[in-house]
Amino acid sequence: MLEIGICSYSFHRLLGAGRQDIFQYIRDCKELGCTQLDPWNYHLDLIRRNDEKIKDEHFMDAGRLLSDEELYYLEQVKAAADEVELPFGLIAADGAHIYEPESNKRALNRARAYRWLEVAERLGADQVRIDAGGPEDMPAEVFKIIQEGYRDVIDRAGEKGIEVLVENHWGPTVLPDNVIKLLENVPGLGLLLDTHNWKTGFRDEGRARCARYAKGLHIKTLHWDDDGNEVGENVEEAIRLLLEAGYHGIWGIESVPDDGDEHAGARKTIALIRRLVPVT
């Protein structure tokens, strides 16, 4: 059976319009035929909103990362997932990136990263995506801070049985050289490979060089024709490279259809993956 998950960013417009929340996302994933749940942290709205309230770098001195209200909320979310028999897989945590120029801001982000590891543990998720942050050129002093920051987060995650992933997303990770430098110099760091999010002119190189590192995927789809073909992203080539590299993980989706029909975009992407990936 093909294992499929949809990053809930695929429904960010529905979320913003108040037409989907985490509970509807769970039901939609079941209806679409997913085998796991891959929420973007904005869908876990209570936790994410409370993240924004962390203003003091000494937040963790209290020794508690999640409030009673947040724990109860997560119990409800987990119960909803259990009801439809879908496990949590990958949580994409925005706002918890490693690098900021100021040490106090790095400490705030670290507190948020710790909170999302706790969320992942409570929900039974296997992976958490935490961005590197920083400038695109990633000078040596920035790289050192990112390297040390990931080391700390990975050690903490390992105690919980959770894998930390970096995504080619923004900042230094839009360049293949920087992604590979991080992966080869931070033991235990995995790659969430987005098939689209590379600096202009680097997409094909990034896909080809980084496919072998992938521990999770965002198969990105944007432009569909009337016959249900994705016409701008050359998804066929991206999947071919992943298969040749021996990828055997979850086929994760991040559908961002330019026509705005998020449910249809997700369905079309699932159908495309099912057509292109052989079931063994």
**pLDDT exceeds 70 at position 56:** no
pLDDT of residue 167: 98
**pLDDT exceeds 90 at position 53:** no
pTM: 0.96
Domains of the chain and any CATH numbers: 4-276 (3.20.20.150)
State the amino acid at position 1 in one-letter form.
M
Q: Which of 46-55, 127-136, 232-241, 246-255 has the lowest mean pLDDT?
A: 46-55
**pLDDT exceeds 80 at position 214:** yes
**Do 166 and 129 touch, CB atoms closer than 8 A?**
yes
pLDDT of residue 62: 56
DSSP symbols for 121-177 = HHHT-SEEEE---S-TT--HHHHHHHHHHHHHHHHHHHHTT-EEEEES-SGGGGSHH
Q: Which of 6-20, 63-77, 140-154, 257-271 has the lowest mean pLDDT?
A: 63-77
**pLDDT exceeds 90 at position 279:** no
Q: Which residues of 119-143 are buried (b: 16+ CB within 10 A; e: fewer)?
A: bbbbbebbbbbbbbbbeeebeeebb
**Do 191 and 218 touch, CB atoms closer than 8 A?**
no
Mean pLDDT across 214-230: 95
